[in-house]
Amino acid sequence: MNLNPVILRLSTLISITTFADVATPLVLPWYGYDLGHSLALMALMFMSEALIPVGTGIWLSSLTRNRPSGRLMRFGQGFRTIIFSSLVIAPILGQGWILWFMLVIGSGLNGLCSILSEASIQSAIPGNGSEITVNAGKLQRVSTLVKSAGIPMGAVMISFFGPSLTMIALAAGAGITGIMGPYWMPSKVPEAAPDAMTSDRWFGFRKLWSIPAIRSLSLQAMVGNFGYTIVMSGFLYYLLDGLSLVSLEVSVVYLIIAAGSALGSIIVVPLLRRFTRGQLYPAFLTGGFLGLMLLQIRTPMAAALGEGIVGLCDTAWVILSIGVRLELIRKEDRAPVLVASRLISNSLVAVAGIIVAIWGLSLGFPALFGIGAAVKAMEAIMAKTTAVSGIDRGSCCAKTAMAQSAS
């Protein structure tokens, strides 16, 4: 089968879904800041985005078992269209509890839909062995490039056109993807594995836990997302309120961050030819630690460069992890295991959101950024001491190991 048309269609879908995903790191929190001017509200929105999917985790993992990728895309993006459209009416409700409720619950449901859309695309990535990592890298590069334009564009849109038109644009993007996804993705339902009946709601979690490297990556991601939320749930507030930046300056900061992420999507494949993944994981996590330490310097340039380095290292980590997951998980098991992995990785985000919501301003941003750096250092230690460190043991580099696994 010629894989190029498949990658092209998936690239188109991931481009549109990624633009909708800018609601997570930028547009929705900025929308909340515009309407509520509260760090607590922005932190609660981050918390809800993880808490609602985690609360429905068993059902969600079961839902994805033996479901066509296109159907998952239709449900996730279609419901997301309804969410963004509903938030358009939020400004007419004033500054009361109803506004906070809509923003917090809307963020949580958006996170639920994002997981379904991500699982649908990742489970549809074609290839075997090293080819999966190459294809995953191509798609991640597309996603990162869209973010490079989409995040600054979101900042400009919400600043110049207002929150309502921005939400309408996000709803339109999600709607287009929900309609086209089922036609552009594999429609055949994977054959059920003999040991995994669809009624087994815990299948995804059990399967994940039985693979040491996948288990280690999920636990790393759980710790990492705790630190990420500690930093990023207040980062936009820090730029707007702490550094008093205007919309154009915020756009430039996020553009630099996106450029770092784009670089991270480019360097992975060349590095795989020279190093093992057991060497690359702690190296990228150490780079993220150094980037977070730069945030202790209270200037816009330090904020941009520090988070740009973090974006580079986090993107590279994600590409490596997608390749490992798809290499070690049977194709028919991918969707439920990937959903289970995402839910485990988000299980501490709510705790981080509560910390920022209650104590954020009293702790101060240097302390919050310092906690994030300490967590990143903990991730690096985990990568060095768990099953991930030996994933390519006996091979000169990751490329050789993946080629051997495919043969």
Of residues 283 and 87, more confidently modeled: 283
Mean pLDDT of 364-382: 95
pTM of the entire predicted model: 0.72
Side chain identity at 212, as an amino acid letter? P
Total tally of structural domains belonging to the chain: 1
Q: What per-residue confidence (pLDDT) applies to 405?
A: 59
Domain containing residue 69: 4-185+200-406
pLDDT at 65 over 70: no
pLDDT of residue 138: 78
Exposed, middle or buried by CB within 10 Å (0-12, 13-18, 19+), for 159? middle
The confidence band for 259, taking pLDDT boundaries of 50, 70 and 90, is confident
Which domain CATH number covers 240? 1.20.1250.20
The span from the first CA to the last CA of the chain, in angstroms, equals 18
* Residue 323 placed within a domain: yes
In a domain, 85, yes or no: yes
276 has pLDDT over 50: yes
d(CA 18, CA 74): 15
Q: Is the pLDDT of residue 191 over 60?
A: no
pLDDT at 67 over 80: no
The answer to whether residue 191 is domain-embedded is: no
Q: Which run of H or of E encompasses 307?
A: helix 300-328
Q: Which of residues 158 and 336 earns the better pLDDT score?
A: 336
Residue 194 lies in a domain: no
Q: Does residue 129 lie in a domain region? A: yes
Residue-wise pLDDT tens digits, 297-339: 999 999 999 999 999 999 899 888 887 887 888 877 777 787 7
> Domain for residue 192, yes or no?
no
- Does 190 map to a domain? no
Predicted pLDDT at 80: 87
pLDDT level of residue 112 (50, 70, 90 thresholds):
confident
DSSP state, 192? P
